[in-house]
Amino acid sequence: MKALITGGTGFLGGALANRLHKLGWDVTVQGRDSAKLKQLKADGLKVIQADLADAAAIMNACKGRETVFHAAALSSLWGRPEDFYRANVTGTENIIRGCMEHHVSRLVHVSTPSIYFRYQSRLNVREDAALPEPVNEYSRTKRMAESRIDDAYGQGLPVVSIRPRAIFGPGDNSIFPRIIQRLKSGGMRVIGDGHNITDLTYVENVVDALLLCADSQRNTLGRKYNITNDEPVKLWEMIERACRELDLEYPRRKISYKVADSVAGMLEGMYGLLPSRPEPPLTRYSVFVISQSATLDISAARRDLHYNPRIPVEEGFREFIKWWKNK
């Protein structure tokens, strides 16, 4: 099977590339990180160093591919609107054109459950839930990308989308590393009551879901599927355990969600006025994620894709800690 993976130098894309290569697929990886591309090439994968906004390069990358996994995105809490649009909307448009021009058999698109979230807890959210106003540029442009995918499906593109929640595991450069960095700085506070629950998804389970989408029945085309480990955890208990495992001090001081949200809003306003627009030390979205409950319903993925989370959170957490200590 010949596959193209966009964002193959990223966390999820890299894990997918390694799995497909081990399974004997003919894999081409698109990315911008030259060092990681060099390593992937040394491992026997084909690589393309190209920006997703480069229409000609992306069109050519899709040529001869049977399956395209679109995992690339600008996923960040902060940044310039034009950068998010270029990566998440223009990039998706170019992938769509490439797939349609070269008659790709299946596009598997990685979206995000960030499009569901507003500034209040939400539990067991289903794929057909009403979508609120986007909370940041990432969710806004990913929602726009989904709209482009929907239009392409209406024009005959065979596509399946997933919305994986809070991916973690060895190689994670976002969720737990950000938390660990704040813990090390000594500037972290428990926000809220410390009892909020959240879904996590081990990276290899997401790879499983992507492979299921690549080979799913026709009734899945045009659909979007929530993907999680389906075992909500108390986030602050996970953070406390990380502190024990990594010999870090667990934050003992607390701050209410309302106060933290107000402070983050002021910081966003201040930092947004600076010429370089650096990321504030606290954003409203990060305050929400770490203090409010958010879980998804994955019954559709279980039913249609036969997705069953293979690696539990406990095992995944142990693997992350082992990797972090040895990296």
Task: Provide the phi-psi class of 244: left if phi over 0, else alpha when psi is between -120 and 50, else beta.
Answer: alpha
Integer-rounded Cα radius of gyration of the chain = 19
Q: Given this model, what pLDDT does residue 304 score?
A: 97
Six token digits for residue 243: 């502190």
Structure tokens at 250: 């667990």
For residue range 187-226, what is the model confidence (pLDDT) as tens digits?
A: 789 998 889 999 999 999 999 999 999 999 999 999 999 9
pLDDT at 305 over 80: yes
Please report the DSSP string for 179-201 in residue order.
HHHHHHHT---EETTS--EE--E
The answer as to whether 236 is a domain residue is no
DSSP strand pairing (233-234 vs 197-198): antiparallel
Structural domain boundaries, residue 86:
2-172+201-231+294-311
Q: What is the CATH number of the domain that holds 19?
A: 3.40.50.720
pLDDT tens digits along 226-237: 999 999 999 999
For residue 119, pLDDT over 90 is answered with no
Token pair 């442009």: residue:
141
**By percentage, how much of the chain surpasses pLDDT 90?**
67
Per annotation, catalytic residue among 85, 116, 119, 138: 138
Question: Could you tell me if residue 281 is inside a domain?
Answer: no
Residue 116 bears catalytic tag: no
The answer to whether residue 210 sits within a structural domain is yes
Distance CA(99)–CA(97), nearest Å, equals: 6
Within a domain: 180: no
Residue 315 has pLDDT above 80, yes or no: yes
Pairing of strands 294-296, 122-125: parallel
The full length of the chain comes to 327
CB 198, CB 293: distance < 8 Å: yes
Environment class of 19 (CB within 10 Å of its CB; exposed 0-12, middle 13-18, buried 19+): middle
pLDDT in tens, 41-96: 888 888 888 889 999 999 999 999 999 999 999 888 778 889 999 999 999 999 99
278 lies in a domain? Answer: no
Question: How many domains is the chain partitioned into structurally?
Answer: 1
Q: Is residue 222 one of the residues assigned to a domain? A: yes
**Residue 134 covered by a domain:** yes
Assess if residue 237 is contained within a domain. Answer: no
pLDDT at 38: 85
Token couple for 156: 């005959």
Mean pLDDT of 128-141: 91
- Residue 122 near residue 174, CB atoms below 8 Å: no
pLDDT band at 252 (very low <50, low <70, confident <90, very high): confident
Q: What CA–CA distances, in Å, run from 5 to 63, 71, 303?
A: 13, 7, 26
